[in-house]
Amino acid sequence: MDVLNEPVGGNGLIALAHQLIAARLNYKNCAPYGCIDQTVTDAQAAIGDLVIPPIGDGCLPPDRVSGLVAMLTSYNQGELCAPHCGGEGGPPFSVEIIKGGCGQ
């Protein structure tokens, strides 16, 4: 929950973690992710051994992961291979426009 509550603040690692966590929860809840298997693999590889804030101080430039974040966001919003899973309203996590980069 600490990671999910952490503002993106120009850190692509946090944006990617938010969407990857949401995708994994959506999968566990009801949604298949065959259409994003490779995206999930690529996102996990991009995160690698980095420790996501606020637990650690890992950082990725937003432009390096923007494609992965966009694909996972589309999945989480029910725009790809699985319909939106949950209750009323929109998806649990919104995409924050990230400008600048790590440490900026």
Q: How far is CA 74 from CA 4, 55, 83, in A?
A: 18, 27, 11
Q: Are the CB atoms for 10 and 90 separated by under 8 Å?
A: no
Range of the domain at 45: 2-76
Residue 31 lies in a domain: yes
pTM to 2 decimal places: 0.81
Residue 91 belongs to a domain: no
Domain presence at residue 24: yes
Q: How do residues 29-79 score in pLDDT, each as one tens digit?
A: 777 778 899 999 999 999 999 999 999 999 999 999 999 999 999 998 888
d(CA 99, CA 83): 30
Q: What percent of the chain has pLDDT over 90?
A: 58
36 assigned to some structural domain:
yes
Residue 37 lies in a domain: yes
Q: Is the pLDDT of residue 97 over 60?
A: no
Mean pLDDT to the nearest integer, 87-104 = 48
Q: Which residue shows structure tokens 């923007």?
A: 66
**Residue with tokens 């850190």, as numbered in its chain:** 11
pLDDT over 70, % of the chain: 80
